[in-house]
């Protein structure tokens, strides 16, 4: 597995790399050899060796990325999706278009939970309510959607 040339790895690929390195460490390869083989620092190989010797192979398996728990329950998130599908007019706005600010206000009105509009955009994306449009800066400072850039190429 020549991971040094691969660049950025997914969580699954990183786990696979750690488990393969664990096999090599258990068969007697030095930390320096493992570091070179898998394209990591000797410090990382040392950390893997320590985890392996203290807690075993399970210590090298991927874990769920922790983060702050959602302030809305799963049921409330489904309710938020319902609000979105009902439309902004149904939520009391004078427009047929959702903005993250409006959706944040609707969530606050219904559930009493305040979210920053930027975070509401991530919630909308996670619920499949909208897709993110990646934008790339051009020299004059204007933004062009990534899809238009790809079509022009």
Q: What is the pLDDT along the chain (153 residues), one digit of tens a residue?
A: 444 444 678 888 889 999 999 999 999 999 999 999 999 999 999 999 999 999 999 999 888 777 788 899 989 999 999 999 999 999 999 999 999 999 999 999 999 999 999 999 999 988 888 865 665 555 555 665 665 555 555
95: DSSP letter: S
Other CB atoms within 10 Å distance of the CB of residue 30: 13
Note the pTM of the prediction, 2 decimals.
Answer: 0.49
For the chain, domain boundaries? 3-60, 77-153
């Amino acid at each position: 597995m020549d991971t040094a040339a691969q660049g950025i790895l997914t969580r699954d690929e990183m786990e696979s790399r750690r488990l393969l390195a664990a096999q090599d460490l258990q068969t007697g390869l030095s930390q320096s050899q493992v570091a070179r083989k898998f394209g990591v620092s000797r410090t990382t190989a040392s950390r893997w060796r320590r985890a392996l010797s203290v807690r075993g192979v399970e210590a090298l398996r991927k874990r769920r990325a922790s983060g702050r728990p959602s302030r809305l329950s799963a049921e409330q998130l489904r309710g938020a999706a319902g609000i979105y599908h009902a439309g902004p007019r149904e939520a009391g706005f004078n427009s047929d278009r959702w903005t993250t600010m409006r959706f944040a206000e609707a969530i606050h009105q219904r559930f009493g939970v305040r979210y920053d509009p930027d975070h509401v955009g991530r919630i909308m994306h996670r619920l499949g309510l909208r897709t993110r449009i990646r934008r790339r800066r051009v020299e004059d400072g204007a933004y062009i959607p990534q899809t238009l850039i790809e079509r022009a190429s």
